[in-house]
């Protein structure tokens, strides 16, 4: 079933924030918390510094009315810096790759900042910033 989530970016304190949100909402993570050390490395990419290995690559928590919040830690070692305005993304999880491609095509129109949806180890993923400055993510998780 298609869904929408709000994706948050943190500078190293995603786990602390989401443990707090768990208490506030009385909820449990909807999938295991994934750390950067748990993800396969990209061929040709430099190894992550030890200080970044335990940072959060992905976490998801249901909050109210079927909405989920998700998050990652941004990594300074990868040139990422949290700036007010880039700390959230609207994450769309359509039912099919074709729908993800259609949404990407429309939302990325007129933008120069995008990664077309493609297969990743966790599923089908892409992202873009639309011409109005809003960040969108397209994600169809693999069934494990």
Domain total for the chain?
Answer: 2
Write the pLDDT tens digit of every residue in 10-60.
888 899 999 989 998 889 999 899 999 998 877 887 888 899 999 999 999
Looking at the structure, tell me whether residues 113 and 143 fall in a common domain. Answer: yes
Looking at the structure, tell me whether residues 76 and 143 fall in a common domain. Answer: no
pLDDT value of residue 87: 79
**Burial profile 35-63: b = 16 or more Cβ within 10 angstroms, e = fewer:** bbeeeeeeeeeeebeeebeebbbbbbbee
CATH number of the domain at 17, please: 3.30.720
Write the pLDDT tens digit of every residue in 83-108.
877 778 888 888 999 999 999 999 89
Looking at the structure, tell me whether residues 12 and 83 fall in a common domain. Answer: yes
Whole-angstrom distance, CA of residue 133 vs CA of residue 2: 24
pLDDT value of residue 35: 95
116 domain-assigned: yes
């Amino acid at each position: 079933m298609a869904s929408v989530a709000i994706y948050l970016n943190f500078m190293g304190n995603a786990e602390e924030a989401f443990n707090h949100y768990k208490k506030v909402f009385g909820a449990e993570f909807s999938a295991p918390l994934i750390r950067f050390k748990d993800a396969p490395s990209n061929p040709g990419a430099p190894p992550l510094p030890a200080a970044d290995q335990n940072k959060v690559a992905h976490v998801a928590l249901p909050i109210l009315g079927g909405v989920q919040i998700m998050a990652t830690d941004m990594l300074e070692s990868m040139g990422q810096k949290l700036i007010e305005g880039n700390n959230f993304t609207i994450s769309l999880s359509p039912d099919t790759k074709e729908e993800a491609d259609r949404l990407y095509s429309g939302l990325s129109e007129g933008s120069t900042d995008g990664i077309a949806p493609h297969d990743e180890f966790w599923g089908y993923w892409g992202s873009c910033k639309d011409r109005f400055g809003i960040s969108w993510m397209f994600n169809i998780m693999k069934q494990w």
